[in-house]
Structure formats: C-alpha cells, structure tokens
Homo-oligomer: A and B are copies of this chain.
Amino acid sequence: MTQSLVQRLQAELDAMWLVDPHTHINPHSAPSQTLADILGYHYYTELAHAAGIPRERIEEPGLSPREKVGRIVPGLAAIENTVQYSWLREICRDFFGFQEDRITATNWERLYDQSLAVLSAPGWEREVLQRSRLSGVFLTNDFDDPLTGFDTAFYIPCLRTDDLVFRLWQPETRERFQKATAEEAWEVTSLRRGLAELFRHFLAHGARACAISLPPGFTPSPVADAVVEPLLGAVRHGRALSTAEQGVLSKFVFWCLAQECAQARLPFDLMIGVNRRVYPAGVYQGQDLFDSRCSLLQYGELFNAFPQVTFPISVLAHGLNQELVSYAWIFPNVVTSSHWWYSNIPAYIEPDLRARLQAVPQTKQIGYYSDMYKLEFAKPKFGMFRKVLAKVLAEDFVVGRGWSETQAVGLGRTILCDNTERIFPKR
C-alpha cells in the first residue's frame, strides 16, 4: 500500500512543469549532439576512469565522438551499480528507444546510431524540453558573457563569479574584466565600478541570480579598501601576490559582490565546500573533492551583514546538512538549495530532504536543480529527486502525520516549482 501511495505521489510530481534553477547549459547548444556529449559527462568519465580506464585513453586529443564513446564503454560494466549509470540507462531507453539493460562492446554502436538519429532530428531541443517538463533553465554565465543570441526569458542568465573572487589577479581574468567593464581595476574604485557594471549588464539581460562555488576553508569577512589598494597596486606592477594576499583580495571581492547583490536585490547562490584539483591527474571535471571539516559558522558574519540578500545555500558535504537546516530555520535570508554533486545520490538526498522538510519553512527550500551540462539529463536527474521526494512525502507526511495526498503533493509543488519563482523572482 505504501508502495502504491508512493507511486501515486510520484505520478503527480512527475506531471509538474518547472524551472531548473541551476545548470551549466550552453544556450547556443543546449541538447547533446551525439552520444559522446552524454557519455562525456564527467560522471561517466570519472567513474570509468576510477574503475580503470586510463585518462589518456578517454581524453586523447582528436578523438571523434564515436571513438570517444568506444573508449568509455569498456568502463561501464564496473559502474552499472551506480545511480549515475541509471540516469544513462533512462536516457538511452526513454529518449533513444534502447531497450537493453547493458551497454556493451557488442551493442554500443547500434545505440550510437539510434541516438544520433534522435539527437540530430529537427526539433529535438523543443522535444526534450517538453518531455522533461522544463519551463525555464537557469544558466551559469561567465562574468564576461555577452548574453546575446538566445532567449533569456527561457535560458535565464546567472552571474557566476568564481573567476572574479579566486582569479582576479591572473592576467587572463584581468583582461577579460577590462574588456567586459572598460575598467582597469588598478584601484578599488575602478574595481567597484567594474563590478557594478557587470551587475547592470546581467540585470539588463534578465539575470536572476549571482552564484559562486567556495572551498571549505573560505570564511567571508569585510576588508578595508586601504588594505586592498596596495594589493591591486602589486598586481598592476606585476608582483605576484602571496597566498595570504590572494586570500585577502578574494574576501574583498566576495564582499563587494554581496554588496552588489544587496543593491540589485539579487539572490546570491553559495555552493559551499569544494576543494579544486585534489586529484590533478583525474579526468576533466573529475579532480575536485571536499573536506568535511567546514561549518556554516564561517558564514555567520555574512548572513548577519546582508539581511536583505537571499542566500540559497548548497553544501557539498552531507555532514553539513544539519547546519544548513538549522541556519535556514532561524536566519530569514538563508535558503536550502538542492543536493549538490557528491551529495546528489539518493543515499544522501533522502536523509537531507527529510530533515529539511521537517524543520525548514516550506517557502525556503529549493528542492532541486539538475546542474546539467546537456538538456537530456534534466529528466533522469529530476526523476531521481521526484522519486525520493515522493517517498518522503508518503512516509513522513501522509502515513506519518496523516496529511491528505493533496496536501502532500502541494508541499512537493512548493519546493519543486513554486519556490524557484518566489526566491528568484522575475524583474
């Protein structure tokens, strides 16, 4: 009976259209062109690599898409147990009509051809959006993205700021900054003017969020202009900043961004906890990890200083979920946001979601984002979340608390659909 209850709730959740509030979609090339775009998703390359396929085989320069797929396929047998593989299987079955359980040396070329026919058919982008019930897709845009040539009402710009905070001292970043803002940023005032210009540009193109990913050791705090001026001067004169000086500049730029968000009334997505390049010999995008020794206490000063800024928080470590729940439970401007990366498996989604639904106001929870690079992944990833959500709604609310199914579905809609519109309002 519970099982059929879960299925009924899931069917209701599956029927809902929604806006995906965080992706890495390239709006100029949103769907996959070949199966290589799908199997090239870092989840498959890194898992296949971890299971024994050398990086050099997977990433050999000049591989055709078909060759690349052929190189990854031998790594799939070892990862059939993973939930990431189940996304792949769902894509192959539901989109490409591939009915076999396994993708093997003997059948992958047939799959490749089938998928190619689907992916290259005219109207596939519209169709995959339709079948995934997506009514909007948030992007992750470099600060110097012109934001032109696509429908910004559907593909919604977000200002991604990692480069500004963590690489502003690099010549390449400075050059991009100068081009994008016409500011040299050799002094604080120029830097601030440039940042303001970026926000103007993004807001003019319908941006609905500013976003950044942060290492576990980062602790935001304000930095005085006078402390930063000599650092910018050093950069100007080509003197390399020490790690400590870089840290100071990072904090400064971060705080400026929060000030701009306050000014612009733009939510500031914080994705907390990633250590970059822990495994530098890993495949592309398969080199980053995390450190559980992190606390949202590091963000206490920030949350207090910017009560007018909404901070949707994603935590990489499952162990931080209780802090996130507790901070969102008392701070009006802290919002829980999805289940990120290494926490994006049902084993962690379920307990994390359960705690959020039990203790965070329902209006302050962004249920899920796909984080996808290609449109085909929205359906299986949201599907995974919807399934867990249906289970928790059934067990904790319908059975556990005597809610009607209608009420439970309503709560599901709130966190899956409505809150995205509420928390990232259109201008």
- Give A contacts to B, CB under 8 Å: 3, 46-47, 49-52, 78-84, 86, 101, 275, 278-282, 286-287, 289-297, 300, 303-304, 307, 317-320, 322-323, 325-332, 334, 342-343, 345-348, 351, 354-355, 357-364, 387, 396-397, 399-401, 407, 411
Contact = CB atoms under 8 A, between A and B. Distances in A.
A347 B351 contact: yes
Contacts of A322: 292, 317-319, 342-343, 348
B361 A354 contact: no
Considering the complex of A and B, which 6 residue pairs feature the smallest CB-CB distances, nearest first? A347-B355, A51-B361, A347-B354, A78-B361, A291-B295, A81-B362
A289 B330 CA distance: 9
A273 B343 CA distance: 22
B51 A363 contact: yes
A358 B47 CA distance: 12
Nearest to A329: B50
Contacts of A332: 49-52
Contacts of A51: 332, 361, 363-364
Contacts of A290: 297, 323, 326
Contacts of A330: 46-47, 49-50, 279, 282, 286-287, 289
A294 B322 CA distance: 14
Nearest to A282: B330
Contacts of A47: 329-330, 361
Nearest to A356: B347
Contact of A292 (B281, B295, B363): B295
Nearest to A285: B330
B289 A275 contact: no
A325 B86 CA distance: 18
Contacts of A49: 330, 332
Contacts of A387: 400
B357 A81 contact: yes
A80 to B, nearest CB: 7
B342 A325 contact: yes
A364 B279 contact: no
Given A47-B329, A50-B360, A290-B323, 4 more contacts: A101-B407, A278-B297, A289-B326, A346-B400
Nearest to A295: B291
Contacts of A80: 362
Contact of A319 (B101, B319, B331): B319
A358 B50 contact: no
A101 B50 CA distance: 47
A282 B279 CA distance: 41
Given A332-B49, A343-B322, A297 B289 contact: yes
A69 to B, nearest CB: 19
A81 B358 contact: yes
A358 B83 contact: yes
B342 A326 contact: yes
A387 B399 CA distance: 12
Contacts of A279: 300, 303-304, 330-331
A49 B290 CA distance: 33
A50 B325 CA distance: 12
A295 B293 contact: yes
28 contacts: A46-B330, A49-B332, A50-B329, A50-B331, A50-B332, A51-B363, A78-B362, A78-B363, A79-B361, A80-B362, A82-B361, A84-B359, A86-B401, A101-B407, A279-B303, A281-B307, A289-B296, A289-B297, A290-B297, A292-B319, A292-B323, A293-B293, A325-B342, A326-B342, A342-B359, A345-B359, A346-B354, A347-B354
Contact of A348 (B296, B319, B348, B355): B355
Contacts of A317: 322-323
